[in-house]
Chain A
């Protein structure tokens, strides 16, 4: 006889297990439509491999595992995939989730099986892969991928394998009936698990309220290394950590895993599923579901395909909907209310509980905590529930965390014993969610900070690069100027040259502008020449009076000057005749721009005077010309093999113009008619 241990706390709620084990496992049959959520396990939802309209065979993989902590999903029967869409699932939130919807064809046609004939001579990795490919996730209720749990590294040697047949929660008998009817499969599956893990001890724990299951297992396990252990009934001894403590006396460290103390725990259902996967080559496509509660006439266990709607099972059990005020998935302690009876059975659905209002009354309103401490006595994790309650209520989540909030297994023992009817578990769930949310927020804000800082750094770098480029350009220009200066005066300074050129240009402009004062110039020339003639004449007369020798020479100069004066006067006259009055000349020189404006105004006047018919005709002609041009361009583009995008744009233009031409034509016709 094995020495047994006890864990702290625990409660003894009414068991209510006898109702559903009066008959054996009934086969539920195949419903018309199966809804298979992609996330039936803990971890990443699986990724669909099939498409709507595809025909699939029973056992065919519908979705593959996405990542390490994930499992694939298989078709529970043959049929056609009609959709992959959001459907209501069994979840306390009542939200929808992506599901593969399969319409069964009733043929139940299997895919080819690939069993492993001799698992003992098979590689451990291959067995793990087989279990993983079979889509097995913990069938006890949590749904953690079994292969992940089994794939413990060599750094953590496993000395004990525990198979959990406790099923401590009231009402549920799915594991009980499985142990009674499929003990051989469970033992075989356990041996496969033991082969993978190579533990020193293999234990199957069964509560003493299931004597029949215990004796059947005992018989099946005789002659093997498996030890079937029976221990006193107490809720929640089926909790992984509690069962480990009962059987080994060891406690799993806070925040740790059983593998840390050399223990792996698996549910009996998972062990049977492993047997089916390895020995029979069948993936996990069905499970045992207890349908019980006083609102069903014949409580019993069903062998149901995954994806079967809950109402399909309830009807077979004689469901009386009017008696039932809420439908629960799981047991009365840890289960949750499902949004409707249409939600499907998933890998973690061990029980559908349809209680009457008397059986599971709605909690009376909570009253203030009286600090009686009964919750602390009942807590199987040795926590301080009332302390956690105060922290959760006061939103002091950090303190709650320091009081080991995350060691709470949400078993509901504290709520069960609370004389004030405080929904304690709900506080802990909310507090846990809040803490996780805060952690995620902190992670996200850290991520945002890094991105923000990276962006700042990038902008600074870009600015610095720009600045550096500008400095380089400036330096290059200065260098060039210096070189030019060094080259000497032989080569003129380009700036100086430019200035000179500008000056020359300006001078030329000044000269040009002087053009209009030509008249003045001529007049001036006449005046100065006359003056010179006068002085020359007086000089000549004086010389004659003196009888000087140079009188002849002076006479010649006077003659010359007179001729010049005559020429100047003539030029002035000619100029005046040629240009008329200067004012008239200025008025004549209207600039080209002014002319264009006037022309346009004239054209507009003409347009205004035109009849509407003419106008429409003109517009049409113009549009037609544009259309012709666009078409030509499109043609040219086509021949040149332009980019597709440009061609599309051109085609659109032509199309638009065509429409416009059509519209203009209509208008022209209309105006002509009226």
Chain B
């Protein structure tokens, strides 16, 4: 053996490398089978960031399909309900530059809740079928109503209504959801000298 190695150093080196490669290849091959990840974990992480309104404004039938599309390389700025904050969070996760929200898919707006004008409802169940989160309650030929706490404000029930009795109402500010706002950034404009006065005051 020693003689052989001494005689053909090149061959023995080749042999050593090949056998190492074979051993590690076998280990890796086994590991890839044994520790196979179910599904794509990045999809779950993206899906966790998406707002789950299931509104389809991104052009996909729900948030998870869009998460899958993002994982497959689609743009991350197609989700208006998530807003710029959502785009930022996705950019942080995927370690890419955060683009501006794509206005083509809708604007970022305050959360809305669907409201059925119940005296106009004819009980056609079309909105119930359209609701992605089963937030509309009702039966055929009976009045329907929205379970406000379950509504994601996705807008999908408005279009199918044949009598146009569904309205998207912005969530009203109440004692429950009121909270302190950050101090006005404009108030940081300091009136040190007279010309610092705001434009309104200057005009007045």
Chain A contact residues, CB within 8 Å of chain B: 39, 91-93, 95-97, 365-368, 392-393, 423, 426-427, 429-434, 436-437, 441, 444-449, 451-456
User: Would you give 9 A-B contacts (Cβ < 8 Å), ordered by A?
Assistant: A427-B182, A441-B51, A445-B50, A445-B51, A447-B150, A449-B64, A454-B134, A455-B133, A455-B134
What secondary structure prevails in chain A residues at the interface with B?
A: helix
Q: In the complex, what's the smallest C-beta–C-beta distance from A450 to chain B, in angstroms?
A: 9
Instruction: Please determine whether B133 and A448 come into contact, CB atoms closer than 8 angstroms.
Output: yes
**A92 and B188 alpha carbons, distance in the complex (Å):** 22
B152 is an interface residue with CB less than 8 A from chain A = yes
Instruction: Please determine whether B175 and A430 come into contact, CB atoms closer than 8 angstroms.
Output: no
Instruction: Please determine whether A449 and B47 come into contact, CB atoms closer than 8 angstroms.
Output: yes
Interface residues of B in 17-72 (CB under 8 A from A): 47-48, 50-54, 62-64
B195 is an interface residue with CB less than 8 A from chain A = no
Known: A448-B152, A452-B62. A93 touches B175 (CB 8 A): yes
Instruction: Please determine whether A446 and B181 come into contact, CB atoms closer than 8 angstroms.
Output: no
Instruction: Please determine whether A452 and B54 come into contact, CB atoms closer than 8 angstroms.
Output: yes
B132 is an interface residue with CB less than 8 A from chain A = yes
B201 is an interface residue with CB less than 8 A from chain A = no
Instruction: Please determine whether B182 and A430 come into contact, CB atoms closer than 8 angstroms.
Output: yes
Identity of the chain B residue whose Cβ is nearest the Cβ of A366 in the assembled complex:
B188
Q: In the complex, what's the smallest C-beta–C-beta distance from A21 to chain B, in angstroms?
A: 33
Instruction: Please determine whether A452 and B52 come into contact, CB atoms closer than 8 angstroms.
Output: yes
Q: In the complex, what's the smallest C-beta–C-beta distance from A338 to chain B, in angstroms?
A: 14
Q: In the complex, what's the smallest C-beta–C-beta distance from B140 to chain A, in angstroms?
A: 15
B183 is an interface residue with CB less than 8 A from chain A = yes
**A431 and B179 alpha carbons, distance in the complex (Å):** 10
Chain A CB within 10 Å, residue with most, of B178, B179, B189: B179
Interface residues of B in 145-176 (CB under 8 A from A): 150, 152, 173-175
Known: A91-B175, A365-B190, A366-B188. A451 touches B133 (CB 8 A): yes
A365-B188, A427-B182 known; 12 other A-B pairs, CB under 8 Å? A91-B175, A95-B175, A366-B183, A367-B190, A426-B183, A427-B183, A430-B181, A445-B51, A447-B150, A448-B133, A455-B132, A455-B133
**A433 and B183 alpha carbons, distance in the complex (Å):** 13
Q: In the complex, what's the smallest C-beta–C-beta distance from A285 to chain B, in angstroms?
A: 23
Instruction: Please determine whether A429 and B180 come into contact, CB atoms closer than 8 angstroms.
Output: yes
- Which residue of A97, A366, A392, A436 is within 8 Å of B187 (Cβ)? A366
**A93 and B152 alpha carbons, distance in the complex (Å):** 26
B104 is an interface residue with CB less than 8 A from chain A = no
B191 is an interface residue with CB less than 8 A from chain A = yes
Chain A CB within 10 Å, residue with most, of B50, B152, B175, B178: B175
Identity of the chain A residue whose Cβ is nearest the Cβ of B50 in the assembled complex:
A445
Q: Given the complex, which residues of B lie within 8 Å of A367, measured CB to CB?
A: 190
**A97 and B50 alpha carbons, distance in the complex (Å):** 34
Q: In the complex, what's the smallest C-beta–C-beta distance from A143 to chain B, in angstroms?
A: 15
Q: Given the complex, which residues of B lie within 8 Å of A97, measured CB to CB?
A: 175
Interface string of B96-118 (1 = CB under 8 A from A): 00000000000000000000000
Instruction: Please determine whether B180 and A430 come into contact, CB atoms closer than 8 angstroms.
Output: yes
Q: Given the complex, which residues of B lie within 8 Å of A430, measured CB to CB?
A: 179-183
Instruction: Please determine whether A365 and B134 come into contact, CB atoms closer than 8 angstroms.
Output: no
- Which residue of B50, B62, B179, B191 is within 8 Å of A365 (Cβ)? B191
Q: In the complex, what's the smallest C-beta–C-beta distance from B93 to chain A, in angstroms?
A: 13
**A456 and B61 alpha carbons, distance in the complex (Å):** 11
Q: In the complex, what's the smallest C-beta–C-beta distance from B98 to chain A, in angstroms?
A: 13
Q: Given the complex, which residues of A lie within 8 Å of B180, measured CB to CB?
A: 92, 426, 429-430, 432-433
**A368 and B179 alpha carbons, distance in the complex (Å):** 25
- Which residue of A366, A429, A452 is within 8 Å of B132 (Cβ)? A452
Instruction: Please determine whether B182 and A95 come into contact, CB atoms closer than 8 angstroms.
Output: no
Query: Which size class do B's interface residues fall under?
Result: 20 to 34
Q: In the complex, what's the smallest C-beta–C-beta distance from B139 to chain A, in angstroms?
A: 15
Report, nearest first, the 7 A-B pairs whose CB atoms are least far apart. A433-B179, A429-B180, A445-B52, A93-B178, A448-B52, A451-B133, A430-B182
Instruction: Please determine whether B187 and A365 come into contact, CB atoms closer than 8 angstroms.
Output: yes
- Which residue of A366, A392, A429 is within 8 Å of B190 (Cβ)? A366
Identity of the chain B residue whose Cβ is nearest the Cβ of A367 in the assembled complex:
B190
Instruction: Please determine whether B133 and A452 come into contact, CB atoms closer than 8 angstroms.
Output: yes
Known: A93-B178, A96-B175. A449 touches B187 (CB 8 A): no
**A391 and B140 alpha carbons, distance in the complex (Å):** 52
Identity of the chain A residue whose Cβ is nearest the Cβ of B181 in the assembled complex:
A430
**A328 and B151 alpha carbons, distance in the complex (Å):** 39
Q: Given the complex, which residues of A lie within 8 Å of B188, measured CB to CB?
A: 365-366, 368
Instruction: Please determine whether B52 and A446 come into contact, CB atoms closer than 8 angstroms.
Output: yes
Q: Given the complex, which residues of A lie within 8 Å of B152, measured CB to CB?
A: 444, 448
Known: A449-B47, A451-B150, A452-B63. A392 touches B182 (CB 8 A): yes
Q: In the complex, what's the smallest C-beta–C-beta distance from B177 to chain A, in angstroms?
A: 8
Q: Given the complex, which residues of B lie within 8 Å of A432, measured CB to CB?
A: 180
Q: In the complex, what's the smallest C-beta–C-beta distance from A648 to chain B, in angstroms?
A: 15
Chain B CB within 10 Å, residue with most, of A97, A433, A451: A451
Q: Given the complex, which residues of B lie within 8 Å of A434, measured CB to CB?
A: 179, 182
Q: In the complex, what's the smallest C-beta–C-beta distance from A368 to chain B, in angstroms?
A: 8
**A423 and B180 alpha carbons, distance in the complex (Å):** 12
**A430 and B62 alpha carbons, distance in the complex (Å):** 32
**A446 and B150 alpha carbons, distance in the complex (Å):** 11
Instruction: Please determine whether B174 and A448 come into contact, CB atoms closer than 8 angstroms.
Output: no
Q: Given the complex, which residues of A lie within 8 Å of B51, measured CB to CB?
A: 441, 445
**A93 and B179 alpha carbons, distance in the complex (Å):** 8
Q: In the complex, what's the smallest C-beta–C-beta distance from B154 to chain A, in angstroms?
A: 9
Q: Given the complex, which residues of A lie within 8 Å of B182, measured CB to CB?
A: 392-393, 426-427, 430-431, 434
**A632 and B50 alpha carbons, distance in the complex (Å):** 63
- Which residue of A437, A451, A454, A455 is within 8 Å of B179 (Cβ)? A437
**A447 and B135 alpha carbons, distance in the complex (Å):** 12
**A366 and B150 alpha carbons, distance in the complex (Å):** 42
Q: Given the complex, which residues of A lie within 8 Å of B178, measured CB to CB?
A: 91, 93, 95
- Which residue of A431, A433, A446, A451 is within 8 Å of B134 (Cβ)? A451
**A393 and B184 alpha carbons, distance in the complex (Å):** 10
Known: A366-B188, A445-B52. A423 touches B175 (CB 8 A): no
Identity of the chain A residue whose Cβ is nearest the Cβ of B177 in the assembled complex:
A437
Q: In the complex, what's the smallest C-beta–C-beta distance from B171 to chain A, in angstroms?
A: 12
**A97 and B175 alpha carbons, distance in the complex (Å):** 7
**A584 and B180 alpha carbons, distance in the complex (Å):** 98
Q: Given the complex, which residues of B lie within 8 Å of A366, measured CB to CB?
A: 183, 187-188, 190
**A91 and B176 alpha carbons, distance in the complex (Å):** 11
Identity of the chain A residue whose Cβ is nearest the Cβ of B182 in the assembled complex:
A430
**A436 and B54 alpha carbons, distance in the complex (Å):** 23
**A335 and B19 alpha carbons, distance in the complex (Å):** 77
Q: Given the complex, which residues of A lie within 8 Å of B183, measured CB to CB?
A: 366, 423, 426-427, 430
Q: Given the complex, which residues of B lie within 8 Å of A393, measured CB to CB?
A: 182
Q: In the complex, what's the smallest C-beta–C-beta distance from B179 to chain A, in angstroms?
A: 3
Identity of the chain B residue whose Cβ is nearest the Cβ of A93 in the assembled complex:
B178
**A93 and B180 alpha carbons, distance in the complex (Å):** 8
Q: Given the complex, which residues of B lie within 8 Å of A365, measured CB to CB?
A: 187-191
**A96 and B63 alpha carbons, distance in the complex (Å):** 37
